[in-house]
Structure 1
Amino acid sequence: MTIRLRPHHLLCLLTYVGKGYSAAFVANYDRIAARLSAGEDVVVTDGPDDICAPLLDGAEPHCWRASVIERDRHAAREVGALLGRTIAPGARIALTPARLAALRGRFAEGGIRAACGSCPWSDLCTAVAQGGYDGARVVSGR
């Protein structure tokens, strides 16, 4: 199986520590973090993904907002430049230990944070990165 992720969630997964929009969102994200940690690959999607699933039942889910789509655009460009490949719908990515370390290193330096500018979780993510990713739930088991 593969996990469907939109581009900016390639950044969010780096600092996920079990906090989120609702209990259902956190439970879902915990399952995804465990799957990623067990070595499941990612397939990049356009728009809402497996992480968004618990939020899509609301009247106006933020997952479809232009600001979120803009985050995806920034993240795809920066993550793609770091990994040396195009990050577009259908791209498959294995989160190897080396890739996860490279992403986290650059994120901590602020090098792949253009997508984070207007995100309400940005301060938490900065704190997690500055703390050496202590408590981050996605670990690479490969």
Structure 2
Amino acid sequence: MSLVVSGEILAGVLIVLVLTALLYIFVRRRLLSSGAPLMLCALRPHGGTQYRLGLLRFSGNALEWFTLVGPSPRPARTWERPLLELGPPRPPASPIAGLPEAVTVECRYRTDTFEVALAPAAYTAMRSWLESSPPGFNVNVA
């Protein structure tokens, strides 16, 4: 086999791999967003120095965080609505890659603290979701 044919085969295999990865990312995001709002955010554990980009989803009674380009369709973190507390929004100390004009929010879940960085509109949506009552909770309140 000549060098040209080997190069063409290698290029073809690389193109197929790249297209397969892009298709998987597209299908995963479509599956994650089905039925619930999904937004881009970054997460930093307490004491951490770097933010990890991910996707935040509001489900009925939980807030779920998924890695941005991970293999798993399951959330990496899940926080129950009644146990999650949000602090006030602040501008980030340094720019966050992938999130221009983001605000950071210190969060507390039970004894765990962490920071979430997201767009101001996404913060408003998250705050509204957290402060509204969960579906089916105190339905008969007049």
TM-score range, shorter chain: under 0.3
Between structure 1 and structure 2, the one with the greater Rg is 2
Larger RCO of the pair (alpha carbons < 8 Å, separation 6+): 1
Structure with higher strand content: 2
